[in-house]
Structure formats: structure tokens, C-alpha cells
Amino acid sequence: MPIFKTFSDKQLLSFQESNAKINIWEGAVRSGKTYVSMARFLDEIIHGPPGSYAILSRTYDTFRRNILQTLTEMIHTDAKWYAGKRELSIWGKQIYVIGCDDERSEAKLRGSTFCGAYVDEASMIPESSFKMLISRCAMKGARIFCTTNPDSPYHWLKKDYLEDNIDVAKWQFTLNDNPELTQEEKDYLCRQYKGVWYQRFIEGRWVQAEGAIYDFFEMDIHAITHPPGIAEYYIVGIDYGTTNPCAFVLIGVNRSKFPNIWVEDEYYYNSRDQQRQKTDSEYADDLKEFIKGKNVSAIYVDPSASSFKVELQKQEVLNLFNAENEVLDGIRFVSSFIGNGTLKICRKCRNLIAEMQSYVWDSKSHKQGEDKPLKENDHALDALRYCVYSHFFNKSTAKVDWDKAYREVMKQGPELPRFYSDPMDQAYRF
């Protein structure tokens, strides 16, 4: 049987009252939503209808990181994970784990019948998959349990399920609803988010992402005149372009300096301004000159730049990696690093700073309930996002000692160098 930690009043209330067909825990990060919703799901497995269940997550990596570890801590050896079949066995009941990262995932649910389901980060699941899940959990006694952080106020989950739906029970959580968090931890988390991310992930508000994306950026605070010291190593991000500008950013890393991470230099070539396009070979030569004499441990290349990657390999440029291209996660990640002082930009990187100050949300996407940046003036920013997100966010890590990670952060003090943007949610490789 599971062993649960002490619940807060809000957690206990939601545990006792989550008997609707659809039950949704929403609100701030680290507010205790996942823990109590998982506890309730386990209770449903014990007392719910006999048969198979389902867990939906954006990807199998996010399932292992967000769900499997928590489940294992709750019930120890009573859960068996069959990675090859992507199935769990808990107290003799079969639970299918389904990744839902795009509209095609809806087909994975067709034809199934579930006695209940758990949905991790429901706002990240395609609407078609969620609607199909509802039809698969239509049997008597079947219930769906969901968690989500706030998103756009026009998001389908907000409009169709959190507003005036008689089949939905919902609870909004704040940091104060997690009895495991100390005040020091709450203060730390509040420092990590700015602008729309603060409103959503700390205040728990479904607000529209409008206007400037990096609206908190200030030259006097976030830009530096020169590097803080000698880098232990460098990483490079590349946004490749032919008719569009081609941008490289050189990022220095030193754990003993403040800031820990800094953008030291940029390369920016706009063929329209120069009235001449460069070849892949010329760009490769420019890159080699750009990093000459630098201890570069990794170069993250625009994943769509196939021909350029071939040329770099041909010219024996080492340590090449395909960049991760998750736009919103990457923007949030970079925002957190800049906002908490971990990452700063040298003032000589004029194109990057200009893009940082002019990067805006696409207003047309809001009506579809989506957050998308306007695809203008974003080439150096894309290179920065590729590099920072790909290098420091380790998506493959399934088990992390979050308490140890947090203690290491707090040892450094609130005004000293920090390597973790949000140690409770993410893992970094150093």
C-alpha cells in the first residue's frame, strides 16, 4: 500500500472531493499538485473499477522524470515498469503509458477502454488526444485525473474544461499549498520567473502572453561590459541562414565566477544587407575563425541546417550536436537563466541585445490559444536558445536527487553564482 506524506488542507480537500468524471489540479509550479493528484490516482487504482488504466504524458522522457520517480517513492517495489512495452503493473492492474506530443498521438488511444486515467501537464497534450481519452474513459465509474500549469486564457483546456463544465472538479494551487516547501524555497522559486512566466508559474494565472517576450531585460542589469574572467570551457549555438541572417553565439562557462555563464561574442551575417549570400564552406570557415583558440566543448547547430552540418563534418569541426528546438520551453529556460543572474550578455553582442529588446509574441496565435513568438528578429536569439537549452537541460535524466540539488544551490546564497534555474523541475549536466 502507498505511504503518503502529510497533506496540506488544500491537498486533503482535493483528495477527498476528486470524484468527478474529470478532476483537474492547476496552479503554480511546485505547489503540490502532482503529489496529491498521483496519490488520488493510486487510491483510484486500489478502489476503482477492475480493468486497465492509462497515464498520458507529453513524452516518455517526461513520464519517467515527472511521474515514474514519484510513483516509485510512494509505493516502492509495488510498481513494475516494463520500458519495452511502456506499461506499468501496480497491484496487479495494467497501466498503459502513452506519449502525446503531437496530433498523431490521438490514434494511440483509439479502440481502447480504460477504467481511469492520469494526465500529466494536460495543457501540453493535444486537444484531439484529450477528447479521445474522454471517450475511452466513458464507462461507469471511470475517472480522469489531470495536472496543469496555467497557459493562455484562450487555451482549449481553460475554455472547455475549467470554465462552466458540470463534469469537471477543479482546484487551484499556490506555493503555500505545498507543505514540503520552506519559505526559503518559495522565495527562491519566486526569483526564477519574470513577466508572463511569473504570472503563470508563481501566481497561477491564465494570462495572455502579449507584448515583449523578454520584457524584464535591462541593459544595466543583464548586460556586462566584459567577461567576468577566463572560461573553463565554451559552448556555441548556431542559427543557420542563407537568405535569412546566419548567427553564432559564443558562451563562456565558469562555475567559480559571477555570472556563471555569459555570452562573450557573436557572429551575425545578413546576406540581404551585404547583398551577397555566403556558401556553406564560407560559413564553416567563419565558424572556425570565430572559435579559434577557444576551448569549445560543444557546438549546437540548428537542427534544420542539414547541408551546413555536412560541410562542418567535412571540414572536421569537432563536438557537433543537433540542437533541441522546443521553442516555449527554451524561451522559458533562457528567461529563467537571465532573470536570476546566472546568464549575462556582453555588450559587444549588439545584434543579440537588439533582438532581445525587440522579440515579441505573435498576437494572431493567441486566438487559437497558442503562444508563439513572432518569427522576426530572432536569429541570434535562436542561436542562444539552442545553445543554453540543449546544453544545460538534460532531458534524459530520469532520477535526480532534487533535495541535494536544492541544498547545493542554497549553499551559494541568494546573491552568489547559481547553476540551477529550477532545481525542483529540471536537471542540468555539469
Q: Give the residue among 333, 340, 341, 320 at the shortest CA–CA distance from 394.
A: 333
User: Given a cut of 50, is residue 423 above it in pLDDT?
Assistant: no
In a domain, 407, yes or no: no
Instruction: Return the pLDDT at 394.
Output: 58
The pair phi, psi for residue 393, each rounded to 5°, is -105, 110
Count the domains in the chain.
2
What residues have CB less than 8 Å from 167, skipping those under 6 apart? 20, 21, 22
What residues have CB less than 8 Å from 392, skipping those under 6 apart? 333, 337, 419, 421, 428, 429
As a whole number, mean pLDDT of residues 82-100 equals: 91
CB 299 within 8 A of CB 238: yes
In a domain, 406, yes or no: no
Kindly state the cell numbers that stand for 324. Answer: 533541441
What residues have CB less than 8 Å from 282, skipping those under 6 apart? none
Kindly state the cell numbers that stand for 344. Answer: 549575462
Q: 223 pairs with which residues across the strands?
A: 345
In a domain, 400, yes or no: no
User: Given a cut of 60, is residue 414 above it in pLDDT?
Assistant: no
- 223-265 confidence digits (pLDDT tens): 999 999 999 999 999 999 888 899 999 999 998 989 999 999 9
Q: Are residues 280 and 390 in the same domain?
A: yes
In a domain, 410, yes or no: no
Q: 81 pairs with which residues across the strands?
A: 88
Q: 40: which DSSP letter?
A: H
Give the pLDDT band of residue 406 (cuts 50, 70, 90): very low
User: Given a cut of 60, is residue 428 above it in pLDDT?
Assistant: no
DSSP string, 75-101: HGGGEEEETTTTEEEETTEEEEEEE--
The CATH number that applies at residue 228 is: 3.30.420.280
Choosing from 127, 153, 181, the residue where a domain stops is: 181
Give the pLDDT band of residue 184 (cuts 50, 70, 90): very high
Instruction: Return the pLDDT at 273.
Output: 83
User: Given a cut of 70, is residue 350 above it in pLDDT?
Assistant: yes
Q: Are residues 244 and 338 in the same domain?
A: yes
Amino acid code (one letter) for 86:
R
* Edge-to-edge strand ranges of the sheet holding 233-239: 223-224, 343-346, 261-269, 246-253, 233-239, 296-301, 320-322
Q: Are residues 35 and 85 in the same domain?
A: yes
In a domain, 373, yes or no: yes
Q: CA-to-CA distance for 193 and 336, rounded, in angstroms?
A: 6
- 209-222 confidence digits (pLDDT tens): 777 888 888 888 99
Q: Are residues 171 and 241 in the same domain?
A: no
Instruction: Return the pLDDT at 2.
Output: 64
Instruction: Return the pLDDT at 381.
Output: 97
| Out of 159-168, 228-237, 415-424, least confident range | 415-424
Q: Is the peptide bond before 259 cis (omega within 30 degrees of 0)?
A: yes
Instruction: Return the pLDDT at 77.
Output: 64
What residues have CB less than 8 Å from 35, skipping those under 6 apart? 5, 11, 70, 178
* Other CB atoms within 10 Å distance of the CB of residue 40: 22
Q: Are residues 175 and 227 in the same domain?
A: no
The CATH number that applies at residue 49 is: 3.40.50.300
* Edge-to-edge strand ranges of the sheet holding 168-173: 79-82, 87-90, 93-99, 53-57, 116-119, 143-148, 22-27, 168-173
Q: Are residues 166 and 235 in the same domain?
A: no
Instruction: Return the pLDDT at 427.
Output: 30
- 287-336 confidence digits (pLDDT tens): 999 999 999 999 999 989 999 999 999 999 999 999 999 999 999 999 98
Q: Give the residue among 150, 109, 113 at the shortest CA–CA distance from 131.
A: 109
Q: Are residues 382 and 234 in the same domain?
A: yes
Tell me how far CA of residue 322 lies from CA of 10, 275, 383, in angstroms.
43, 29, 12
Q: CA-to-CA distance for 61 and 9, rounded, in angstroms?
A: 32
Q: 173 pairs with which residues across the strands?
A: 27
* Other CB atoms within 10 Å distance of the CB of residue 159: 15
As a whole number, mean pLDDT of residues 24-47 equals: 95
User: Given a cut of 60, is residue 404 above it in pLDDT?
Assistant: no
Q: CA-to-CA distance for 93 and 54, rounded, in angstroms?
A: 11
User: Given a cut of 60, is residue 358 above it in pLDDT?
Assistant: yes
| Out of 125-134, 340-349, 364-373, least confident range | 364-373
What radius of gyration, in Å, describes the C-alpha atoms of the chain? 23
Instruction: Return the pLDDT at 265.
Output: 98
In a domain, 321, yes or no: yes
Kindly state the cell numbers that stand for 423. Answer: 532545481
Q: Give the residue among 350, 336, 331 at the shortest CA–CA distance from 219.
A: 350
Domain housing 264: 219-395
User: Given a cut of 60, is residue 407 above it in pLDDT?
Assistant: no
In a domain, 149, yes or no: yes
Instruction: Return the pLDDT at 343.
Output: 96
Average predicted confidence (pLDDT) for the chain: 87
**Residue that the C-alpha cell 549570400 belongs to:** 277
How many helices (H) and strands (E) in the chain?
Answer: 17, 15
